[in-house]
Amino acid sequence: MSAVPMQTSQVRQFIGRQETKGLLRFITCGSVDDGKSSLIGRLLHDSQKILEDHMAAVKADSQRWGTQGEQIDLALLVDGLQAEREQGITIDVAYRYFDTERRKFIIADTPGHEQYTRNMATGASTADLAVILVDASRGVQVQTRRHSFIVSLLGIRHVIVAVNKMDLVNYDHAVFQNIAAECRHFMRTLGIQDVRVVPVSALMGDNVVKPSLNMPWYEGQPLLEILDTVDVSDDRAEDLRFPVQYVNRPNAEFRGYAGTLVAGHVRVGDQIMSLPSRKTTKVKEIVTYDGSITEASAPMAVTLTLEAEIDITRGDLLAHPDRAPTVAREFDAHLIWMAEQPLLPGKQYEFKISNQYVRGTVQRIDYRVDVNDLSRHAAGELKLNEIAVCRIALNQAVAYDVYDLCRETGSFIVVDRMNNATAGAGMIRRSAAVKAHEVHGNVYTEKLEITRQQRANQKSQQPCILWFTGLSGAGKSTIANAVEQELFRRGYHSYLLDGDNVRHGLNRDLGFTDNERVENIRRIGEVSRLFVDAGLIVLTAFISPFRSDRRMVRELVEAGEFIEVYVSTSLEVCESRDPKGLYNRARQGQIQNFTGISSPYEAPEAAEIMLDTSKLHVDDCVAKIIEYLEASGRLKL
């Protein structure tokens, strides 16, 4: 260490300043060529936070990967992973940190390349402000509009447009003015109120940290000065929102509700309501490790104890009773799709919203939004990086706000249950127009309904679904029919769903595309579920070749109620039987997507019952199924 040690008083001063610093999170958007990495590199460099050994590594790397000839390539301070350095592009969201005298900054650095919409949305989701780069020599591009749209969609209310590479247009005021006017215009159409446009040269350092001598006509602040002083304080909602995260019960005496205030304030003695139950009580204590406090505000993480013991679990939301959020099962949302496998309406997904997972479906896609020109298009499915307005239907009611009012209680992710991937992200726009399941005020409609158990008891049976699956010609319908006859003979109540009574009626409007097939099975599943509710033993006989579809139905009903019957007759045997001549036609190419020939059949991995009709007679098959039903307590006569 060559430097003279700092005086203790200086250090104390510094610590004092450091402890009062606020935080600003911002996102930078721009394409490979806009010089975004250089701009961030310049911010880090000129705000003197680049440490010397990093600098030395960059010097070495510049000679190896650099695009700036002999000059040090500041972009290399920023581009993280080896793979992307080799490709010369940024392929994921990277977070950078620096601070000034006034603030600490967290930069979400996101790529601007077209196929990486999902990364931009990720970066924008936690940002208060966006820096959007425009290349002065190329003007406003399609991607500039795209970035602005995503920024507005994710609820960012402050935008700085950095018109970069002003050195390439000779610091021309007119060029800047045209770009600025165009940007301001379409930002306004997107509803972004706070827009500032700054002419910069990241390469030369103009107006990044220090004012530019090359552009005396610019009277505004340099970029960093704006970042340092911009007021984002009015972005947060004031009504209390406290999603319960964890119930803390170290012993019988203490029951605390741990969570983070995502909005508003709470005081000891406040009357609060738990949603969705709408039960109310008062706040007894606000507990923290550093002692109990009388008042807490967002975004503090605290533990509340309550006066009355009301039943509250993780995922419930605490609010003030007169300022409570909406409680409903359905809502409309903007959805950004982030998975390779497309979103299929009707398919069951998991939605994580306000600290809980709830199953549900995207009931329909109202329209897809083209991010380039904001035009709306009809869509039957949603592909990677596409954005749409959708109706979401959850399996249970949840408390939420509209995203524009509160980000934390208005956002959710969609998890694909097959591979656990984060498949999508959503922002709630409004409650569904028909709020059939919504709780109104404090009034509950008292429903006197006959329970499913009562119905089942009346019939002396436990309802279930016998789901027959197997190739065409395997014998599904034959066996299902025979089982139903046997059940009828014994006095049980059943119903058989097959191609004849479903495809010709309920599902007459469906063809054979992938999502129509999913919809076909979904409807059959829903109908089966209704029949199970009605107390019936349901038999279905459909090829249902995809595991995911069968699993979707399995999850619609209670455990044990879905009984998969795999009729495992081999393709050779089925093809030799060919009762309807379908295999013959498929082999000749007259039928497309024929299961077993030109479309796969995914055999069950753990079917409850397996039947090979090349070895078993129909009567044996029926006996096996009846035996299973008796053993599992389904039949009670």
Q: How far apart are CA 306 and CA 308, in angstroms?
A: 6
Per annotation, catalytic residue among 125, 544, 568, 614: 544
Verify binding: residue 293, other proteins, rule CB under 8 A: no
616 φ/ψ angles, rounded to the nearest 5 degrees: -110, 140
Verify binding: residue 341, other proteins, rule CB under 8 A: no
Give residues 27-86 in contact with other proteins (rule: CB under 8 A).
51-54, 57, 60-61, 80-83
When binding is defined by CB under 8 A, the residue of 10, 68, 395, 592 that contacts other proteins is 10
Q: Is 372 in contact with 386 (CB distance < 8 Å)? A: no
- Helices 142-153 and 117-125, packing angle to 10 deg: 40
When binding is defined by CB under 8 A, the residue of 75, 150, 344, 402 that contacts other proteins is 402
Q: How far apart are CA 18 and CA 346, in angstroms?
A: 52
When binding is defined by CB under 8 A, the residue of 151, 227, 425, 538 that contacts other proteins is 425
When binding is defined by CB under 8 A, the residue of 37, 62, 119, 143 that contacts other proteins is 119
Report in angstroms how near the CB of residue 622 gets to other proteins at its nearest: 36
For the residues of 188-228, what is the DSSP string, one character each? Answer: HHTT--EEEEEE-BTTTTBTTTB--SS-TT--S--HHHHHH
Strands 562-567 and 609-611 turn out to be parallel
Q: Select 427 or 464, whichever has its Cβ closest to other proteins.
A: 427
Report in angstroms how near the CB of residue 64 gets to other proteins at its nearest: 8
Q: Which residues contact 171 (CB under 8 A, 6 or more apart)?
A: 199, 201, 206, 212, 214, 215
Give 498's strand partners: 541
Give residues 354-393 in contact with other proteins (rule: CB under 8 A).
355, 357
Give residues 609-628 in contact with other proteins (rule: CB under 8 A).
none
Report in angstroms how near the CB of residue 242 gets to other proteins at its nearest: 12
Q: Select 289 or 444, whichever has its Cβ closest to other proteins.
A: 289
Give 298's strand partners: none
Q: Does residue 495 sit in helix, strand or coil? A: strand
| 98 token code pair | 């620096």
Q: How far apart are CA 399 and CA 317, in angstroms?
A: 7
Q: Select 92 or 498, whichever has its Cβ closest to other proteins.
A: 92
Start-to-end Cα distance in the chain:
90
Q: What CA dihedral angle connects 618, 621, 623 and 624, to 10 degrees?
A: 170
Q: Which stretch binds other proteins (CB under 8 A): 221-229, 414-422, 496-504, 577-585?
A: 414-422
Report in angstroms how near the CB of residue 551 gets to other proteins at its nearest: 14
Q: Select 420 or 445, whichever has its Cβ closest to other proteins.
A: 420
When binding is defined by CB under 8 A, the residue of 100, 177, 281, 297 that contacts other proteins is 297
Verify binding: residue 431, other proteins, rule CB under 8 A: yes
| 32 token code pair | 């490979």
Verify binding: residue 232, other proteins, rule CB under 8 A: yes
The contact pattern for other proteins, residues 240-259, with x = CB under 8 A and - = no contact, is -----xx-xxx---x-x-xx
Closest C-alpha to 390, from 360, 359, 419? 360
Phi-psi map region of 336: left, alpha, beta (phi>0 left; psi -120 to 50 alpha): beta
- The total of other beta-carbon atoms located within 10 Å of residue 553's CB is 22
When binding is defined by CB under 8 A, the residue of 29, 74, 94, 130 that contacts other proteins is 94
Q: Which stretch binds other proteins (CB under 8 A): 173-181, 417-425, 448-456, 530-538?
A: 417-425
Among this protein's residues, is 125 annotated catalytic? no
Angle at 511 between CA 528 and CA 609, to 5 degrees: 40
Report in angstroms how near the CB of residue 345 gets to other proteins at its nearest: 21
When binding is defined by CB under 8 A, the residue of 100, 126, 277, 481 that contacts other proteins is 126
The contact pattern for other proteins, residues 99-118, with x = CB under 8 A and - = no contact, is x---xx-x-----------x
Give residues 556-575 in contact with other proteins (rule: CB under 8 A).
none
Q: Is 539 in contact with 468 (CB distance < 8 Å)? A: yes
Verify binding: residue 523, other proteins, rule CB under 8 A: no
Closest C-alpha to 238, from 301, 164, 320? 320
Q: Select 408 or 519, whichever has its Cβ closest to other proteins.
A: 408
Verify binding: residue 19, other proteins, rule CB under 8 A: yes
Report in angstroms how near the CB of residue 268 gets to other proteins at its nearest: 17
| 515 token code pair | 């999502």
Tell me which residues are annotated as active site. 544
